[in-house]
Amino acid sequence: MVVRNTLAFTKVLKMPYKKAIPDNPKTLGEHILRKRLLMRLLQKHVAEQLGVTEASVTGWENGRSMPMLHVYPAIIAFLGYYPFDTDISTVSGQIEFVRYNLGWSYERMSAEFGVDGTTVQDWFSTNRIYKKSHQRILSVLLKQSLSI
Task: Please say if the pLDDT value at position 17 is more than 60.
Answer: no
pTM listed for this prediction:
0.81
- 31 and 60 fall within a common domain: yes
The predicted model gives 88-115 an average pLDDT of 92
Distance of CA 138 to the CA centre of its chain: 20
In a domain, residue 102? The reply is yes
- 96 and 58 fall within a common domain: no
In a domain, residue 63? The reply is yes
In a domain, residue 19? The reply is no
Q: Which residue has the higher pLDDT, 102 or 147?
A: 102
In a domain, residue 100? The reply is yes
As a whole number of angstroms, the distance between CA 20 and CA 80 comes to 21
Q: Of 43, 58, 79, which residue sits at a domain end? A: 79
In a domain, residue 109? The reply is yes
Choose the weakest-confidence range: 22-26, 61-65, 77-81, 93-97: 22-26
How far apart, in Å, are the Cα atoms of 135 and each of 36, 61, 86, 106, 117? 38, 36, 18, 16, 17
Q: What are the CB-based long-range contacts (under 8 Å, 24+) for 119-123?
A: 120/95, 123/91, 123/92, 123/95
In a domain, residue 6? The reply is no
In a domain, residue 95? The reply is yes
As a whole number of angstroms, the distance between CA 47 and CA 53 comes to 5
Question: What CATH number should be reported for the domain holding residue 36?
Answer: 1.10.260.40
As a whole number of angstroms, the distance between CA 30 and CA 36 comes to 10
- 138 and 96 fall within a common domain: yes
Q: By residue range, what is the domain housing residue 42?
A: 25-79
- 67 and 31 fall within a common domain: yes
Average pLDDT, the chain: 89
In a domain, residue 84? The reply is no
Residues 57-71: pLDDT tens digits?
999 999 999 999 999
Overall number of domains in the chain: 2
pLDDT category at 7 given cuts 50, 70, 90 is low
The pLDDT of residue 79 = 97
As a whole number of angstroms, the distance between CA 26 and CA 117 comes to 31
- Residues 6 or more apart whose CB falls under 8 angstroms from that of 85 comprise none
- 32 and 75 fall within a common domain: yes
Residues 32-53: pLDDT tens digits?
999 999 999 999 999 999 999 9
Q: Of 33, 58, 79, which residue sits at a domain end? A: 79
Hey, is 132 helix, strand or coil? helix
Best CA proximity match to 61, nearest among 16, 34, 29, 88: 29
- 44 and 73 fall within a common domain: yes
